[in-house]
Structure 1
Amino acid sequence: MENKTMKVSFIGLGVMGFPMAGHLQTNGYDVCVYNRTSAKASDWQAQYQGRMAATPAEAASGADMVFVCVGNDDDVRQVVYGETGILAGLAAGALVIDHTTASAELARELAEACSKQDIGFLDAPVSGGQAGAETGQLTIMVGGEETDYAQAQPVMDAYARHSQLLGKHGSGQLAKMMNQICIAGIVQGLSEALHFGQQAGLDCAAVIDVISKGAAQSWQMENRAATMIDGKYEFGFAVDWMRKDLSIALNEARRNGSTLALTALVDQYYADVQKLGGGRWDTSSLLTRLHQK
């Protein structure tokens, strides 16, 4: 049963973590946050009136659940391990939920480390971007034990429209890799379609209005086609982060023997965007490299 008197901690207040932690606080949970840059934690505290801590261990102390949303595998390890890490502050019976998009290998490693202290663990990467985090409409892919998921699921509902347990530890991260593989192919296809239409002299906005009602419809078309047509990319999910995610997927593919030919190609296209200075542009900026041809 959901207990909103429980103490929860949120580690990492980036564009995703800041509003996610805010949703927990506004939904009645007692939230303590930690961020590597303390000024961001101060900003969060001023906006949501929760608590802040100087270290991950301090934030985790006394918490029933600790949520993590940082950059990559190494960032997760830095906030979990060591004298100031989450595991140093958590008591037995607590639960760690990692929302970072990271490797399945790390998820299994963390599950084992938590288990040694009788702490539960879920790998739970999210999809929906900054907008989804701000509106509380994220989708969460989860790996771990069913009992831990049952405990975490009603709490995650504060910022999720849907979450699902997909299997053992690492399954959430593997599902997120599939998510990013799909997005890479769809954005490249949309970019080529818009480039084709522009070269043909069509009113691409009018064309998108028509084809978005049929089989070509996608989230990317609905949410990114208009800004792509206008050449606006200073928002959204950064190319640098997408390349990080695709690297994780490509490394996993080498381990499990799968073939990701299109993903590898699109990853190189994103490298072209980085060379154009677009590392922080939204992933829809794949269209810009076609304008260079």
Structure 2
Amino acid sequence: MSVIAFLGTGTMGAGMVRNLAAAGHELRIYNRTKSRAEAAADVVADTVDLSSGGSVRVVDEPVYAARGAEFIIACVGSDAATFAVLLGEGGALAGVGQGALVIDCGTTSLKLTEQLAAACEGEGASFLDAPITGSKLGAEGGKLTIMVAGEEEIVARAMPLFEIMGKHTVHVSERLGDGQRAKYCLNMTQAVVLQGLLEGYTLAKLLDVPLTKMAEILENSAGKTGLGTFKTPYLLAGDFEPHFRLDLMHKDLHLALRHAENERVPLPAATVVRGLYDQAVAEGMGPRDFLAMATLLERWAKLELRE
């Protein structure tokens, strides 16, 4: 069993910590809001049989988590947060040891990915970019999909952990940053697909088609999507508690389209959707699930999509 520094115990990280501890690993966990790390540790203590040797200990700074750890996993929501927990004052790389493996499971910029890889190399550590998808329930159930980039032997070393945290790991390539590139494409696609679904439900409501019937039709036609299957029950219940925060999808849309614009490739649907997310964030909707984009359409159509 391994000693793991785990940085970031929010919507996704808390479930990942629980699964790693249940598998017998020793975890030192850190969150910038300490109460969230303490809550994650309490969940492990209350729900996990630790007789196999697993443990969770909350630390006050990332550097303390990293000292003596074989793996350092960061799962935080932005470039600034990732920089802070890894490279900032008291960051994990100040305590990383020779031969350790640093894994970034957040969705971050390629510039930061390059910076992290160089910093790890300077400390004699290895690095993988390995962003995740699957939402809160996927993290809790160990059913994430992980997009990883890095050298084959380094990916193989991390694979036992990936198999605990996820149901499917894709080694995108050996080129660092390709995990991030793949994640940009994925989340841009998901944002556009969800917008189409929500607009379909809005039109159905306007035409007096019952939404439960519309959902049944979508589920049994070429209009079926995994995203629609997962999100529709929450939409019909008016439940916008975050499985994946709207402001994080907003950030990822900007990351994706920045690269498209650098390549001078027009992506018109995604560009329009990005503008809608700009508006939603400006209206304070960022902490809600990205399904809450439905509320913009509700207001414009002067109706509620819930049944």
TM-score category by the smaller chain? Answer: over 0.9
SS in structure 1 at match of 2:232: helix
| Residues in 1 aligned to 2:280 and 2:170: alpha-carbon distance in whole angstroms | 34
- For residue 12 of structure 1, what is the aligned residue in structure 2? 8
SS in structure 1 at match of 2:145: strand
Matched, 1:174 2:170: no
| Residues in 1 aligned to 2:245 and 2:42: alpha-carbon distance in whole angstroms | 27
Mapping for residues 105-254 of structure 1, pairs under 5 Å? 105-167=111-173, 168-254=175-261
Cα 1:276–1:83 shift into 2, 3 Å = closer
Counterpart pick for 1:270 among 273, 277, 290 = 277
The Cα of 1:109 is off from its aligned counterpart by 1.7
| Residues in 2 aligned to 1:215 and 1:102: alpha-carbon distance in whole angstroms | 33
| Residues in 2 aligned to 1:234 and 1:77: alpha-carbon distance in whole angstroms | 27
- For residue 40 of structure 2, what is the aligned residue in structure 1? 44
| Residues in 1 aligned to 2:210 and 2:170: alpha-carbon distance in whole angstroms | 40
Backbone CA RMSD of aligned residues: 1.6
| Contact kept in structure 2, 1:205 and 1:226, CA below 8 Å | no
Q: Which amino acid aligns with 1:270?
A: Y
> Could you list the per-position Cα deviations for residues 199-232 of structure 1 after superposition, in whole angstroms to 9, with x for gaps in the alignment?
1111121121122122111122111123323433
State the TM-score, normalized to the length of structure 1.
Answer: 0.93
| Residues in 2 aligned to 1:250 and 1:124: alpha-carbon distance in whole angstroms | 20
Aligned pair count reads 289
| Contact kept in structure 1, 2:242 and 2:290, CA below 8 Å | no
**5+ unaligned residues in a row in structure 2: which ranges?**
45-54, 301-307
The Cα of 1:239 is off from its aligned counterpart by 1.5
> Could you list the per-position Cα deviations for residues 79-101 of structure 1 after superposition, in whole angstroms to 9, with x for gaps in the alignment?
11245111111111110000111
Cα 1:264–1:108 shift into 2, 3 Å = same
| Contact kept in structure 2, 1:55 and 1:85, CA below 8 Å | yes
| Residues in 2 aligned to 1:14 and 1:256: alpha-carbon distance in whole angstroms | 34
Q: Which amino acid aligns with 1:7?
A: V
Q: Which amino acid aligns with 2:153?
A: T
Shift >4 Å, 4+ stretches: none
**5+ unaligned residues in a row in structure 1: which ranges?**
none
The Cα of 1:275 is off from its aligned counterpart by 4.7
> Could you list the per-position Cα deviations for residues 54-109 of structure 1 after superposition, in whole angstroms to 9, with x for gaps in the alignment?
21111000011010011211111111124511111111111000011111221122
| Residues in 2 aligned to 1:91 and 1:276: alpha-carbon distance in whole angstroms | 44
Q: Which amino acid aligns with 2:11?
A: V
| Residues in 2 aligned to 1:277 and 1:63: alpha-carbon distance in whole angstroms | 39
> Could you list the per-position Cα deviations for residues 166-188 of structure 1 after superposition, in whole angstroms to 9, with x for gaps in the alignment?
12110000000011111011111
72-81 vs 40-49, greater mean Cα deviation: 40-49
